[in-house]
Structure 1
Amino acid sequence: MLATVGYEGVTFEGVAESVGCSRATLYRRFTSRFELVADTINATLDATEPTTPLDNRSARENLLWHARTSAEFMREGHGRALMSLSEAGNRNPELSALMARREQRAKDFYYAEFRRVRGGLTQEKLAFAFDTLIGSILYHETSRNRRLSTRQLEALVDCTIAILRDETTSLGA
């Protein structure tokens, strides 16, 4: 529903109808639209986000695994929902704070892996690498509705690693 009608379009009536329950049932559990959406976001992302590196794998393998997971997640409508929530967050500080907390959890995972690639990275370099990798996945899977192949995801991860290692020219960071 977030992907199709956006945060402002989510209503208790619409959610109740789509899940086959009454509005009263929802109101017993959630006191506001924000609480309903926050619970949904947290449950969905908790089920898909790794919070620690995968054991006995290289940083590249961990980054590639998470890139694949992110691509699959984005193509199921979740990417459009995240974009909608990000936009709504510009008008809703509570929603903005929730989205920032969720993004930070993803960044913590990626930044740890990025530091395994190369130590001593600045926050600016870490943020640029994160935005480049995740932004590319979001763009292709959500905005362009283009399914990324394993080879393309490998290329994105390898480009991100090159950015971290300063193996590219004219980065400015």
Structure 2
Amino acid sequence: MRREELLDAAEDLLCDQGSQALTLAAVAERAGCSKGGLLYHFGTKEALIKGMVERLIEEFDELVANQGHNTYTKNYLAATFDAVRSGRLRRWAVVTGASGNLYLLAPLREAMARWHREGLDSEPDPTTAQIVRLACEGLWDVASHDPGLYDDARYAELKRRLLDLLPA
């Protein structure tokens, strides 16, 4: 059983049944492996949650890096809209909600600080770049509470308007 499959099973379990259902036995069953197989990769529930948080951060970093715009903020903006519209947002909400432990969320806090500091010195207008990044955080928050609030046209308009705030 691969580590990624176990993380997928844990995220699926969280999405389907909530954080109270996240047990090592339930994850092993969902993944179709023995509890020992799960324990080989994740010795504790906390290690499993930490693995999910770390994977989310890595995936978002990769999404930002693959956007191809000329500034970090434009890449961050595009990655945010990609993540929200693809359903990745749901994964973030359930994984972070499942931890209930500030220690387990420390990597996420560190990543958030990095995402909001990254490249600001090289932005043509650092203050506007910060405003756009904060708007992205607001979008994440609102969409996590009501995923169906905006349709594709509204997302496209919001993204266009935020891009218009940034210098070319």
Contact preservation (8 Å) 2:28, 2:35: yes
Partner of 1:145: 147
Contact preservation (8 Å) 1:11, 1:33: yes
**Counterpart AA for 2:80:** A
Contact preservation (8 Å) 1:3, 1:84: no
Deviation at 1:6, TM superposition (A): 4.2
Q: May I ask how many residue pairs the two structures share in their alignment?
A: 153
Partner of 2:104: 95
Partner of 2:123: 116
The whole-number CA distance in structure 1 between the counterparts of 2:96 and 2:40 is: 29
Partner of 1:170: none
Deviates more, 1:152-161 or 1:13-22: 152-161
Contact preservation (8 Å) 2:57, 2:108: no
The whole-number CA distance in structure 1 between the counterparts of 2:77 and 2:153 is: 9
Deviation at 1:23, TM superposition (A): 0.7
In the superposition, the TM-score normalised over structure 2's length comes to 0.65
The whole-number CA distance in structure 1 between the counterparts of 2:163 and 2:38 is: 43
Highest relative contact order (Cα 8 Å, sep 6+), 1 or 2?
1
Deviates more, 1:49-58 or 1:11-20: 49-58
The whole-number CA distance in structure 1 between the counterparts of 2:59 and 2:93 is: 18
**Counterpart AA for 2:59:** A
Deviates more, 1:42-51 or 1:31-40: 42-51
The whole-number CA distance in structure 1 between the counterparts of 2:71 and 2:153 is: 17
Q: Which residue of 35, 38, 41 corresponds with 1:29?
A: 41
Runs (5+) with no aligned partner, structure 2: 1-12
In the superposition, the TM-score normalised over structure 1's length comes to 0.64
